[in-house]
């Protein structure tokens, strides 16, 4: 039987761990829902299959009874660094690809601390909408904003980033079209009026689209990957607009072919659509996330089968989307290897591939495809 348990993983999409890891039950539960309503942590999270599975894994790892109180009491004895080191080493992580746009950096371990804790490499992505927000607050003149935005993107690797990340799916949807300067300037004025206490949550779609096309040109010129949030996400997203098929205008541009596009979260529930795009466009890659979305084993097996049935494994990448607590990065690595192994073993048993081929495909998903995309 195929065994992928020893392959060090490249976590293609994840976030930093919070410095404050002292948890009570309500706070801990809140990390396992995308809903902002506190009623979910009070009444519902403890009744989800994923959370119950996670508690069982943590109890086994920490050597304590399988109750929230016992688990939290045990982990609360460890500081953030010790907790993260213990879990990350058990996860056998090769590289963390970190979206530094969330959570706020002052609340988290730095990328350097994340890498040191995990005895692994940590590389950073620049979240474009965060940069946009900062510059709209800083500049009152549209032309100056555009000039500074372009300057910030002129040498991404020189600034210590391995690629870009966009959450435009949250901010009006994935149908990103090329806008006129006049449209963008009017949208910029609207954004300026929305600033409160020197803070902005940018939602003005013409301005976002205009700046994204600038970013796409820089990414193509520099051969950079750009990740897009697709599908499942926070409760403020319109899931109908998170379908990756909306990216067609961008994907069809031949002048953007040198920009590798990574579709995150297996585009859940649009998995087959995202896998189709990775199978059709040479510069599109597909992410398989094994922590977020919070789905059970059967769904993980289903989206892994769907992806492998459509797209080449050289277009697929493992991730955790782990955030806030290090258990997410750890649990995803354990379960991700297991799920991918099970699916490949099914294909071996069905006579579609042999064991050597299965191992090769597993290594591509867990490690080697990401090495190519991020030039590791």
Q: How far is 22 from 14, CA to CA, in rounded Å? A: 21
Any idea where the domains of the chain sit in the sequence? Answer: 9-21+78-373
Phi, psi of 81 (to 5 degrees): -65, -45
- Quick one: DSSP state of residue 146? H
Taking the C-alpha atoms of residue 344 and residue 353, their distance in angstroms, rounded to an integer, is: 8
**Cα–Cα distance between 312 and 230 in angstroms, integer?**
19
Cβ contact 45:62 at 8 Å: no
Task: Answer for the pair 251, 275: CB distance below 8 angstroms, yes or no.
Answer: no
The pLDDT value given to residue 41: 84
d(CA 214, CA 210): 7
In this prediction, residue 35 carries a pLDDT of 79
100 vs 108: CA distance, rounded Å: 10
pLDDT in the model for residue 11: 98
What pLDDT score does 130 carry?
A: 96
- The token pair that represents 261 in the structure block: 């596009």
**9-21+78-373: what CATH class?**
alpha beta
Q: Could you list the mean pLDDT of each consecutive 10-residue stretch along the chain, which spans 376 residues?
A: 95 97 95 86 91 96 96 96 96 97 91 95 97 97 98 96 96 96 97 95 97 98 97 80 96 97 96 97 97 90 96 98 96 96 97 97 98 96
What is residue 42's predicted lDDT score, i.e. its pLDDT?
87
How far is CA 14 from each of CA 157, 216, 243, 266, 285, rounded to the nearest angstrom? 19, 22, 21, 14, 16
Q: Which residues pair with 127 in a beta bridge?
A: 165
pTM of the predicted model as reported, rounded to 2 decimal places: 0.95
pLDDT the model gives residue 350: 96
Q: Which residues pair with 211 in a beta bridge?
A: none
Q: Report pLDDT for 36.
A: 80
**CA 67 – CA 56 distance, rounded (Å):** 8
Residue 94 contacts residue 120 (beta carbons within 8 Å): yes
What is the crossing angle of helices 271-280 and 297-310, to 10°? 30
């Amino acid at each position: 039987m195929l065994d992928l348990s020893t392959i060090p993983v490249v976590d293609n999409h994840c976030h930093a761990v919070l410095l404050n890891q002292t948890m009570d039950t309500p706070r801990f539960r809140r990390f396992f829902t995308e809903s902002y309503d506190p009623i979910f942590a009070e009444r519902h999270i403890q009744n989800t299959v994923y959370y119950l599975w996670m508690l069982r894994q943590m109890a086994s790892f920490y050597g304590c009874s399988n109750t929230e109180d016992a688990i939290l009491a045990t982990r609360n004895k460890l500081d953030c660094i010790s907790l993260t080191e213990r879990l990350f080493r058990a996860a056998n992580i090769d590289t963390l690809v970190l979206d530094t746009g969330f959570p706020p950096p002052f609340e988290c371990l730095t990328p350097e601390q994340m890498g040191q804790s995990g005895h692994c490499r940590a590389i950073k992505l620049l979240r474009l909408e965060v940069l946009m927000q900062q510059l709209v607050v800083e500049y009152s003149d549209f032309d100056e904003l555009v000039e500074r935005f372009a300057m910030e993107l002129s040498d991404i690797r020189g600034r210590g980033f391995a690629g870009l990340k966009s959450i435009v799916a949250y901010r009006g949807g994935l149908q990103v079209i090329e806008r006129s300067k006049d449209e963008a300037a009017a949208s910029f004025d609207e954004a300026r009026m929305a600033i409160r206490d020197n803070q902005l949550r940018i939602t003005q779609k013409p301005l976002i689209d205009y700046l994204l096309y600038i970013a796409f040109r820089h990414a193509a010129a520099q051969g950079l990957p750009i990740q897009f949030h697709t599908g499942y996400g926070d409760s403020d997203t319109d899931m109908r607009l998170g379908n990756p098929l909306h990216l067609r205008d961008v994907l069809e541009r031949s002048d953007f072919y040198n920009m590798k596009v990574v579709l995150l979260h297996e585009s859940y529930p649009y998995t087959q659509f995202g896998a189709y795009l990775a199978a059709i466009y040479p510069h599109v890659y597909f992410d398989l996330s094994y922590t977020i979305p919070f789905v059970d084993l059967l769904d993980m097996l289903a989206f892994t089968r769907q992806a492998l049935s459509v797209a080449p494994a050289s277009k697929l990448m493992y991730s955790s989307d782990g955030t806030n607590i290090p258990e997410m990065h750890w649990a995803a690595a354990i379960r991700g290897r297991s799920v991918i192994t099970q699916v490949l073993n099914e294909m071996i048993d069905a006579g579609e591939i042999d064991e050597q081929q299965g191992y090769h495909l597993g290594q591509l998903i867990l490690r080697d495809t990401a090495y190519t995309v991020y030039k590791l």
